[in-house]
């Protein structure tokens, strides 16, 4: 397999992943970003923790999540637990964010 074939394969996989994301995003209420993954979920619990020596870390628990990862054969996950010393971003998805803008000429 040439490097061009590999790039073409990865581009096709990423496009397929984006299409899947577009199809499922309306099913979820939250977007969760960690340093390694991007998740869609309806339940997220983010808890700041500290180690014995005072270092801060985060424990994130999600239920019924979808994972943005083109190398996973199954992207729907029942339970996810992430422990990280890096930043975690949690955003609530509003349904208005999912609406497409009206097309030109006033037709939708």
What's the rounded Cα separation, in Å, for the pair 24 and 18?
10
Instruction: Dig out the tokens for 70 from the structure.
Output: 């083109």
Residue 100 confidence (pLDDT): 59
Kindly state the percentage of the chain with pLDDT values over 90: 68
Which residue bears the tokens 């990862």? 69
96 pLDDT above the threshold of 50: yes
Q: Which pLDDT band holds residue 99 (cuts at 50, 70, 90)?
A: low
For residue range 27-78, list pLDDT tens digits in order: 999 999 999 999 999 999 999 999 999 999 999 999 999 999 988 888 999 9
């Amino acid at each position: 397999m040439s490097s061009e074939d590999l790039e073409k394969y990865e581009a096709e996989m990423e496009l397929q992943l984006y299409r899947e994301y577009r199809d499922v995003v309306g099913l979820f209420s939250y977007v969760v970003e960690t340093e390694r993954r991007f998740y869609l979920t309806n339940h997220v619990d983010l808890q700041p923790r500290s180690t014995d020596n005072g270092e801060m870390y985060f424990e994130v628990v999600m239920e019924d999540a979808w994972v943005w990862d083109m190398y996973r054969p199954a992207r729907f996950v029942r339970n996810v637990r992430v422990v990280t010393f890096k930043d975690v971003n949690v955003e609530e998805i509003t349904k208005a964010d999912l609406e497409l803008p009206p097309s030109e000429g006033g037709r939708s």
